[in-house]
Structure 1
Amino acid sequence: MTPNPALDLTWQVDRLVPGETHRVGTGTTRAGGKGVNVARVLHGQGIDVLALATAGGQTGAEFAAELVASGVPHRLVPVSGATRRSVAIVDTDAAHTAVLNEHGSPLTPDEAAALDTAALAAAALDTAALAAAAPDAAARVDVVVIAGSLPPGYAPEQLGALVTALNTSGVRVIVDTSGPGLLEAARAGAYALKPNGEELTAATGLDDPLAGARILLDLGATLVVVSLGGDGLMLVSRAEGGRPVRARLPRVLRGNATGAGDAAVAAIAATLVEPIAFDADTVPAAEARRRLARKAVAWSASAVLAPLAGSLSPEHDAFEREVVVEPLLPRTAETHEDPA
């Protein structure tokens, strides 16, 4: 689910010089927003997925047409405001990307309610709601991802209420947002939260990512995965005495990092379909947490090498074998003894 989707416009330039005119190749226009990017990655990996978003205005029509062309199963809630635009300028020489994100048009109360209704219908397996959008979708919903910023008219408290309602349907909810919405999702008991370090600091007021992650756990989240850019990620749960799992790729990659976080969320979703309590103090759960961390880093790293957000490069399987996960499994896990 993408509450504030965008029509992504991307251009590549050999060297971006502020104040100068640049001649560039034809840009790329793509339906985007964090949740849409997550859905693209999962769809590309052969995982059944439904992308839910709003669409309005001329940009919304372009957004919808591109989603149809992409083949990603989707359902769009019509709104009166125009779908926002997001502009990415990729400096290939410096391996940096400048992004300009419009705020997004406000949702009316009825539009915000319609978006929630569509999400609950999908999670509850309302076949009538899903038939037109994803006739070949799987017979069970395992995970719901809510990703991206919240548009005006969609309050953080409404996000929390949606997470609470989704929990009652038995799905695992992953939320990747910022600000008060992140705190409300934690209070509502989101199964996994995926802030980056800056978002975590802004939401909790704490500079230490481990301390900030523990605040979210105390509020009610089950897992907190903090993306740390080139330093990989940190996964925190109450298991193993609350010690974090740290995962990283032992080398630096150059490329377009705009979709890296979305790829990490897709990896989390792909892993959370496993029917295991990821916060349990057992050897299988500890191994599952490490699989999650390893896949999230590998998919995130491979997204850096892909030309557009929502894609993985072919190297993601090789990266998964290369990722370093620390600390090592406890001694009991190494001998396959159950510490419980």
Structure 2
Amino acid sequence: MILTVTLNTALDITYRVPRLTPHASHRVTAVTERPGGKGLNVARVLAALGHEVTVTGFAGGTTGETLRSLLADDAKGGSGHGDPQGRNGAAPKSHNHPEPPTPRSTALTDALIPTSGTTRRTVAVVDGETGDTTQLNEPGPLISSEEWNALLGACRDLLPSASAVALCGSLPPGVPVGAYAHLVRAARAMDVPVLLDTSGAPLRRGIAARPDLIKPNAAELAELTGHHEPLRAVRDARRRGAHGVVASLGADGLLAVTPEGGWRAAPPAPVRGNPTGAGDSAVAALLAGIARGDDWPARLSSAVALSAATVAAPVAGEFDRSTYVELHPRVTVTEVATVPPSAP
């Protein structure tokens, strides 16, 4: 089982309009709702890949009830994701491009903690003419100390059964800024590989607890280290405590520096589309590779292909099976020179 922790879950609502014009009334042509928050996005992709995944975090109020109902639909196979192996064909098999596991329809387990506050909503308005998206993010609910302690208890119960854990996203009000550092230490104490995907102060505090892997984008990495050159920034992040760093470089792919070595992984060409959720798909692929015991080139090639397939998908945050199958064997992975970290 792979565990994902999403402390600031959301109900994601997407409106599509023919054209978004300021100071005007708009007729919405399509509305979609789905469970949101980075860890839930990661879990949904993992379930579509066929992995057993458990989600924990917080959910409350009417939006929390809707979120959990939609999660139950996902557990029954109703997420609408593409399947990278496919019912009508298989992905290429090789050492560097392992075949994804066969999808199952009951791979997602809800272990969310109820809260007295109401789960936030995020509203995305998509301009049908340009494809541009305007995002509105509500604040998360205030989490009480009792609710936070319940979350810690749930993680202590779930971690012994986990092959890997991902700690994802922002922190809601009331959760201590060192929350991820606490959870990283809990996972490491149980020898569970832990991936941290957050930013700002939670990342600065969390990295000091020495997670196995962090996955910032270029902007988050620059904010953390003060360096805008990616390789220099990645090396600095390792000196700050991360055992491994996989940095998202947008259309240029991924840069990874780990105890086993360093690599750049890039798609054969930029993919046009909506990048929403591409980073979460990359995290899912990395976790799947960790769970399978893949080597780093295999993990990175899968992560780049799945991320690109998410950009190409017609629905934001899902992935296009045919794009994944096409790109997976064509991802280029090259070694880069690394410098050992000086952290104790």
- Structure 1 length as normaliser, TM-score? 0.83
Distance 1:13 1:122 in 2: 42
Q: Which residue of 2 aligns with 1:31?
A: 35
Distance 1:294 1:5 in 2: 29
Q: Which residue of 2 aligns with 1:3?
A: 7
Distance 2:68 2:124 in 1: 20
Whether the 8 Å CA contact 2:263–2:335 is kept in 1: the answer is yes
Distance 2:154 2:138 in 1: 25
Deviates more, 1:48-57 or 1:34-43: 48-57
Which of 210, 218, 238 aligns to 1:189? It is 210
Distance 1:98 1:251 in 2: 27
Whether the 8 Å CA contact 1:85–1:101 is kept in 2: the answer is yes
Which of 305, 326, 330 aligns to 1:322? It is 330
* Cα deviation, residue 300, structure 1: 0.7
Q: Which residue of 1 aligns with 2:144?
A: 108
Distance 1:89 1:256 in 2: 13
Q: Which residue of 2 aligns with 1:289?
A: 296
Q: Structure 2 matches for 1:118-129, cutoff 5 A?
A: 118-125=154-161
Distance 1:18 1:210 in 2: 41
* Cα deviation, residue 14, structure 1: 4.0
SS in structure 2 at match of 1:27: strand
Q: Which residue of 2 aligns with 1:252?
A: 270
Q: Structure 2 matches for 1:52-91, cutoff 5 A?
A: 52-71=56-75, 72-91=108-127
SS in structure 2 at match of 1:294: helix
The answer to whether residue 227 in structure 2 is matched with residue 209 in structure 1 is no
User: Aligned in 2, Cα 1:148/1:309: closer, same or farther, shift over 3 Å?
Assistant: farther
What letter matches 1:123 in structure 2? L
Whether the 8 Å CA contact 2:268–2:327 is kept in 1: the answer is no
What letter matches 2:44 in structure 1? R
* Cα deviation, residue 185, structure 1: 2.2
Whether the 8 Å CA contact 1:97–1:257 is kept in 2: the answer is no
Which of 150, 153, 161 aligns to 1:117? It is 153
Distance 1:290 1:96 in 2: 33
What letter matches 2:270 in structure 1? V
Q: Which has the higher contact order (CA 8 A, sep 6+)?
A: 2
Distance 2:170 2:331 in 1: 29
Unpaired segments ≥5 residues, structure 1: 126-140, 277-287, 330-340
Q: Structure 2 matches for 1:301-320, cutoff 5 A?
A: 301-314=308-321, 315-320=323-328
Which of 230, 234, 253 aligns to 1:232? It is 253
Whether the 8 Å CA contact 1:233–1:246 is kept in 2: the answer is yes
What letter matches 2:325 in structure 1? D
Q: Which residue of 1 aligns with 2:166?
A: 145
1:17-46 CA-partner distances (Å, limit 9, x unpaired): 333333222300111110000000000011
1:146-193 CA-partner distances (Å, limit 9, x unpaired): 111111222231210111011111110011100121122221111110
Whether the 8 Å CA contact 1:143–1:273 is kept in 2: the answer is yes
Whether the 8 Å CA contact 1:90–1:256 is kept in 2: the answer is no
Q: Which residue of 2 aligns with 1:40?
A: 44
1:289-322 CA-partner distances (Å, limit 9, x unpaired): 2112111111111111224454221121221112
1:79-110 CA-partner distances (Å, limit 9, x unpaired): 11110011122334433322222221121111
Whether the 8 Å CA contact 2:17–2:127 is kept in 1: the answer is yes
Distance 2:315 2:206 in 1: 29
User: Aligned in 2, Cα 1:255/1:185: closer, same or farther, shift over 3 Å?
Assistant: same
Whether the 8 Å CA contact 2:68–2:110 is kept in 1: the answer is no
Q: Percent same amino acid at aligned positions?
A: 40
SS in structure 2 at match of 1:151: coil
Whether the 8 Å CA contact 2:59–2:119 is kept in 1: the answer is yes
What letter matches 1:106 in structure 2? L
Q: Which residue of 2 aligns with 1:50?
A: 54
* Cα deviation, residue 264, structure 1: 0.5
**Total equivalences in the alignment:** 300
Whether the 8 Å CA contact 1:92–1:255 is kept in 2: the answer is no
* Cα deviation, residue 269, structure 1: 0.3
Which of 90, 97, 109 aligns to 2:133? It is 97
Whether the 8 Å CA contact 2:285–2:299 is kept in 1: the answer is yes
Deviates more, 1:147-156 or 1:188-197: 147-156
